[in-house]
Chain A
Amino acid sequence: MERITVTINGNQYQALKGSTILKAAEANNIHIPTMCYEEGLSIPGCCRMCVVEVKGARKLLAACTTPVTEGMEIQTESDRVVEARKDILRLYLASHDLRCLTCERNGDCRLQDYCYRYKVEDTPYRGEQKKYPVDISNPFFFRDYSKCIMCGKCVRVCAEINGAYVYDFMEKGFDSKVTSAFDDPNQETACTFCGMCVQVCPVAALVEKSVMWAGRPWEMQKVKTTCPYCGVGCQLKLKVKDGRIIGVAKDKSGSNLGHLCVKGQFGWEYVHSPDRLTRPLLRKNGKLEPVSWEDAYNHIARRLSSIRDQYGGQALAGLSSAKCTNEENYLFQKFMRTLIHTNNVDHCARL
């Protein structure tokens, strides 16, 4: 790839020819704020948060859509740029539900972060406020359009990645809003509840129900792992608080590029099911009764070895599991082959 030289905030950097100002800056650890930009989605350049000053250009340019050119001189935090960003934030605040105290995204909110970064405490734009009812009707997430900033990322991820086309912009001007056709609840649309709209929302317009009142973002530990359902092997982060999973955050390091389906995003509750087995059980007089691990192990060792010694290893068989880890499958077949002395080991690969 051909490289060119650009000047950002007075320093010279190398950038890939054809990349945008935003990408060139990010590659050099210069952070330009964005609201509507999301890696992997189309770029509408509509929020104008990422505007920068380019020498020779009359207007401020959106960093997410403007390609770099040789010798380009860019200012990402000049007075003119900062004043423009402040004004955008003030406009957002003019009609935003500011009950941040109890908002689930408090501490993990782009609007909050940027208001802090640019010292925007209030708005001079006073007028009508949007007040929409919160839609809590589906089991997975709620929709609170009084907090929507119209970045349109949910519209794009739903159309461009999932292909469900649930959301779009409706109405015009102050009345415009992102919603489903006829404002229908998601369960009456083509929604497959993949939750990708929730994952890309920069504010609290779309929030997983499971995190409601379950803890503040900074109290959650995020543990990166692999989804336990199908063979795609999506990477995700479990949000954990006080020894319980309360939600799932996206992780972009795997082939799924942060994309998930309903099972990966919302199908983890079984882990905390009251039906979980918590003690070894041994059948006594026809009934399964709790016993100690030691008793269970001793019983199994005695029975397996006596059947093996009486009938030979071919009289025993083991089913390993496509749900267990590689390490467990490896030990299981080693167990059957070396201790039980049989190749009668299989799993449900065929089912």
Chain B
Amino acid sequence: MAGLATAFGSGAMTNSINQLLQTNVILLVGANTTEAHPVTGYRIKQAVKDGSRLIVVDPRKIELVRYADLWLRIRPGTNVALLNGLAHVIMRDDLWDKQFVAERSEGFEEWRQGLEQYTPEYVANICGIKPELIEEAAHLYAQAEKATTVYAMGITQHTSGTNNVFAIANLAMVTGQVGREGAGVAPLRGQNNVQGSCDMGALPNYYPSYRFVDDSAARQDLEKAWGVSPEAGAPGQPNGQGPAGLPVEPGLTVTEMMKAADRGEIKAMYIMGENPVLSDPDANHVIEALKKLDFLVVQDIFLTETAELADVVLPAASFAEKEGTFTNTERRIQRVRKALEPPGEAKPDWLILVELANHLGRPWHYPRGPEEIMEEIARVTPLYGGISYARLEETGIQWPCPTPDHPGTPWLHAEKFTRGKGRFHRVEHLPPAEEPDREYPLLLTTGRMLYHFHTGTMSRRSKRLEAIHDHELAMLNPDDASHYGICDGDTVQVESRRGKVKTKVQVTDHVPPGVLFMTFHFKETATNLLTNAAVDPICKIPELKACAVRVSKV
């Protein structure tokens, strides 16, 4: 998200899901849509059947490879080299959009100089593909009337994640493939409301609407709106003491929080609806860190692996038991409606927060519930300024929607980029933080499969999904399988420098030689015991897509 936000001024998907049907060329990089975002996967297939061209960049032989005109099976962690290589060919063959670059971008010259060494031959060698493929893909993308780049965690979950996104943004700008209906950049959000959580400022450096916490104008606005006095010792301050106003220092990200907890700097945590023990990299480290806390509150619908470590566990309501809104990957704010009562004494998360605030001496009061909270959101969140439940009754609205009469925004950056001019960023290829070596010779990459979701908390308690698929099935290339004497269906131990797990193996050319693929859906095979918590230096996303492991038959 930081990458696109820096390049364009907004980290969100630029266009709408159904505009994929109007796109002439789709460049799909590091996104297994037919399993992780199936309905978007349907749209890509529909587009191809309708005549669109598809370029798939993925080490895995994902389902959409069957629909692709070109498949660039690059080595994991070599995205920057490839994307720079595409740009090199576009410049070399004079296929760039000079007017777009001149009028709408900055930083072009410096960026251009950085491309020189990324010749097709140089890149082909890094990525392990043929140079002609790079040239063909570059021509196809640059010459399309409308092209869209679709990407997901295969791009972001690397130590070079932000650079990967910069490289995608560079490519879109140099070819003018952004800011039009059907032409843009589409990061696909993994969770139902990742977009909304970010919009609402559930981030260490942003208030709602992506206003920086160290922007004093934003801070003053919110101090006023939230009734926090900017004077020290005033009511509303902790214990009537403490520093003045809202905190100025940007906070810590999840991965940093765990490290700070491990060092004893974080003493207490409040975790609402997350399961970092299974979702975060290097799970052993996460468990140790959480155990060191003086106090841990977990609020969830199940006693998750994280909740088991808590001092207090609060029972929450599921999506079917409360009113509210989710914001989808195309920035569309949509209603969630109450269909049932929560079980037992469980309560919706918003109500728990209000009541807990009351117990901490704050007179939070929303008698009309989430609808009234949305009214407050609209007042302090310019992107949501025109949103109200009345307007969301029939169908959702795509932000920015600043006023009650604004129809919403199907595509961003139409006249100018959110930040004014789009910014080119020179990026260089760097290998993953941990590469296979003699001791740990295979590269583990992780992801999702169709029938389950994230840490399995929801999908594995849906017995019909569980009936179809109930265990991890790691994917190993036939070459590696024969080298290690492993057969399809065998149980193996997978070991990294951080931990080990047992799993069944599927022998398949879905993965290239030297690569092992696993999901993180199954707690019996907690794949994140293996993964590396090394993070991207800018947006702090951990490198879940590449770490070194070894396998042995058990």
Contacts and interface: CB of A to CB of B under 8 A. Distances in A.
B465 A263 contact: yes
Contacts of A268: 320, 462
Contacts of B246: 337-338, 341
B102 interface: no
B453 A318 contact: no
Nearest to A283: B311
A9 interface: no
B459 A270 contact: yes
Interface string B387-424: 00000001110000000000000000000000000000
A23 B223 CA distance: 54
A221 B337 CA distance: 13
B356 A326 contact: no
Contact of A271 (B311, B340, B347): B340
A228 B349 contact: no
Contacts of A283: 310-312
Contacts of A300: 297, 312, 356, 359
Interface stretch (B93-101, B111-119, B136-144, B268-276): B268-276
A255 B332 contact: yes
A199 B207 CA distance: 42
Nearest to B364: A331
A277 B203 contact: no
Interface in A236-294: 238, 240, 243-245, 253-257, 259-263, 266-271, 273, 275-283, 288, 293
B357 interface: yes
A325 interface: yes
Interface in B201-251: 201-205, 207-208, 213, 222, 226, 228, 236-239, 241-243, 246-247, 249-251
A60 interface: no
B274 A348 contact: yes
A28 interface: no
Given A277-B303, A277-B346, A331-B353, A324 B268 contact: no
Contact of B344 (A259, A269, A279): A279
A323 B339 contact: no
A323 B192 contact: yes
Interface in B5-49: 16-18, 34, 36-40, 42, 45-46, 49
Given A293-B345, A300-B356, A322-B193, A350 B320 contact: no
B350 A327 contact: yes
B342 to A, nearest CB: 8
B254 interface: yes
A344 B257 contact: yes
B249 to A, nearest CB: 6
15 contacts: A228-B319, A232-B329, A255-B39, A262-B451, A266-B465, A309-B239, A314-B249, A317-B260, A332-B202, A332-B353, A345-B202, A346-B257, A348-B191, A348-B280, A350-B156
